[in-house]
A = this chain, B = another copy of it.
Amino acid sequence: MAEKTGVCFPEGFKATGINCGIKKEKKDLAVIISDEPCNVAACSTTNRVKSYSLLWSLKNIKNPVRAILINSGNANVLGGKNGWEITCEIMEKFADVVGVSTRNVLFASTGVIGKPLPQNEILRGIEKLVPMASETGGQDAAEAIMTTDRFPKQIEIETSIKGKKKGSFVRIGAMAKGAGMICPNMATMLGFITTDAVISKIALKKALTDAVNDSFNMITVDGDQSTNDFVVCLANGVSGNRTIHQDTDDYKIFSESLSEVCTFLAKKIAENGEGSDRLIEVRVEGAWSKKDARRVAKNIAGSNLVKAAVTGAWPNWGRIAAAAGSSCTRFDPQKMKIYIGKYTVFDCVSCDIDEKLLRQELSKNKVVIRVILGSGKEDAVAWGCNLTEEYVRINMEKE
């Protein structure tokens, strides 16, 4: 039985996904439509090479948005001289079929770089796709944005905004695609979040930025972003709650729920890294600054050596120490503590833990590495996945 899942969970959103011919058989075209115009907040790649789809969206996120078109199988980047013209034609058609202005639609793409977007397939696909959008199409949409993802990624949260009778509940729903390589290189990441909350544009932007910094940005290494990374949040205000403004109790509640949504999806993406079978969670505590904490956590989670050691269940804490030291100068290595799972493996000296026990910790589906730097009060958590021979095989060959 179809349910209101993912981006369809909040009131007033419809979605669906179909195959339009970019891929052979799998779904490759998705849509999200809101009954009402939405306030929008977004975070996007810092890569100098940006897809035309992203460039289109960045132009429009200041406007009230009504619908998003998403294709997988083609990144719509460096695909030829008339890439921008094709993008505009597709968006004109899309806006027309949805029945809104081109100012009010967004576009996102993921897939192969350097090939022209199959314009005709997408134009025909739009005509079929848009009328099919429904309140139970969240799952289809989540499937249509997948590339090498092993499973679709959705989440739904309902939360109580206190102090109001009508509209005291708001809903957040989301879907994401990641896979790819995750750390340390260019995880093409798309995230679509919908909410029926009434929230000011400024508050929405702040809440999304904070949530993304602690979640999606903690699964990729600084500066290494794909050409298409894009996380967008649409708020259509249908729940009718009192407008959420920054620095209020309501904001805090909304903001925490949004973080929960983003963290859940970020972990799913890391877990789904190509060829990987283990999620690596790196918790860094006692850093001198938040930036230090983030950098150390990401550096450990992104180290090929740490990732390969996890695959072999080899408790080589020296690699963890070296990865920490290479990314931060503000700590004293002799005061550092390193934990693998529940065991202390380094505490000024190497700790004498039975290797069998450590190998068990490193064989779990979720491997937790904790590093206490002892130079301050800032913490951060990063997520990565183990590096396997399968990863190399996948990336040696064409999709």
Contacts and interface: CB of A to CB of B under 8 A. Distances in A.
Contacts of A316: 398
A49 B392 contact: no
A25 interface: no
Contacts of A77: 318
A354 interface: no
Q: Quick one: which of A185, A224, A329, A388 has the most chain B CB within 10 A?
A: A185
A314 B397 CA distance: 7
Interface string A108-148: 00001111000000000000000000000000000000000
Interface string A71-104: 0000101111100000000000000000000000
B387 A322 contact: no
Copy total for this chain: 2
A223 B326 contact: yes
A303 interface: yes
Give the interface residue-count category, chain A: 35 or more
A397 B305 CA distance: 11
A181 B395 contact: no
Contacts of A308: 391-392, 395-396
A350 B227 contact: no
A324 B185 CA distance: 12
A77 B349 CA distance: 10
A246 B352 CA distance: 53
A110 to B, nearest CB: 12
A47 B113 contact: no
B114 A317 contact: yes
Contacts of A398: 314, 316
Contacts of A317: 114
A324 B346 CA distance: 38
Interface string A378-399: 0000000001110111011110
B181 A113 contact: no
Contacts of A348: 81
Interface in A304-352: 304-305, 308-309, 311-312, 314, 316-319, 321-331, 333-334, 346, 348-350
A225 B326 contact: yes
Contact of A48 (B309, B328, B391): B328
Given A326-B186, A327-B223, A329-B46, A319 B113 contact: yes
A239 interface: no
A48 B80 CA distance: 46
Closest 4 CB pairs of A and B: A113-B318, A312-B396, A49-B325, A308-B395
Interface of A: 46-50, 75, 77-81, 112-115, 181, 184-186, 223-227, 299, 303-305, 308-309, 311-312, 314, 316-319, 321-331, 333-334, 346, 348-350, 387-389, 391-393, 395-398
